[in-house]
Amino acid sequence: MLLGKKVVVVMPAYRAEKTLERTYREIPKDVVDHVILVDDAGGDNTAQLARTLGIATYVHEKNQGYGGNQKTCYTEALKAGADIVIMLHPDYQYDPRLIAAMAGMVASEIYDCVLASRILGNGARAGGMPLWKYIANRCLTATQNMLMGTKLSEFHSGYRAFSRKVLESLPLAANSDDFVFDNQMLAQVAAQGFSMGEISCPTKYFPEASSINFRRSCKYGFGVLGTSAKFRLWKWGMYHGSIFSTDPKYRLSGGDDARPAAAKSAMA
């Protein structure tokens, strides 16, 4: 518990058996009450290792995609009674020791959403981010800030903290099951007026760390631009798509009926 709030870490996993244990060992257990891992039908020993480590583990029978994985993660976290949810990739690219600081920023109720930025403090380049990815990150972020009226140093970190209210309010079920889910989620946070904070985060790029290739990165980039354009059109009253809907049917309820049919419990 942190300031009386239950902290849950969720880890969307895909073939993370080589890095999971290192990641898990550095999670601050004195702050975190519960850890959930969702294995997106990776086919390796990630789920078995997670159970051995004592992590609450769920397995998709079929691959649901990165966004689909997160939908299960957040649904299960809400069912577990989380007040604060931290998404941490199990590939050891981000430093788990920052969880306490990120959770504290949300627990204080100053921020509803906190991003661990690789750009603040130049953690990206120092950690080995390829130059082309760094340039793409900066260009996309600048475009998004312009279109969405935000002032973030980066939109593309996979290390994030959310309050329960955010996860219960956003129409996450309307989002893509692919990588652009991350960006759609931040657009929804901005659309609903939730406050966003950032913290500098060192990062590590190495062979075992997950990373999408150039082709998938291009697809993601176009999806990001499309999401930002839709946000601007929505602000002008010219777009009425489901990703900015306030209809409760697009929210994750955290109830049994909200859990994807493709996910099954494999609790340790």
Q: Where are the domains of the chain?
A: 7-252
DSSP secondary structure code for residue 243 in this structure: G
**Ramachandran region, residue 15 (left: φ > 0; alpha: ψ -120 to 50; beta: rest):** left
Torsion of the alpha carbons at 67, 9, 231 and 196, rounded to the nearest 10: -160
Distance CA 216, CA 244 (A): 25
Cα distances (Å, whole numbers) of residue 182 to 31, 106, 267: 25, 19, 26
Q: Do the beta carbons of residue 104 and residue 117 sit within 8 Å?
A: no
Q: Do the beta carbons of residue 167 and residue 85 sit within 8 Å?
A: yes
Q: Do the beta carbons of residue 203 and residue 180 sit within 8 Å?
A: no
Rg from Cα positions in the chain: 17
Distance CA 69, CA 63 (A): 8
Over its length of 268 residues, how does the chain's per-residue pLDDT go in tens digits? 899 999 999 999 999 999 999 999 999 999 999 999 999 999 999 999 999 999 999 999 999 999 999 999 999 999 999 999 999 999 999 999 999 999 999 999 999 999 999 998 876 777 778 888 899 999 999 999 999 999 999 999 999 999 999 999 999 999 999 999 999 999 999 999 999 999 999 888 876 666 677 888 999 999 999 999 999 999 999 999 999 999 999 999 754 444 444 444 444 3
Strands 196-200, 113-117: pairing kind: parallel
What's the one-letter identity of residue 201? C
* Superfamily of structural domain 7-252: Spore Coat Polysaccharide Biosynthesis Protein SpsA; Chain A (3.90.550.10)
| pLDDT at position 141 | 97
| pLDDT at position 205 | 82
| pLDDT at position 163 | 98
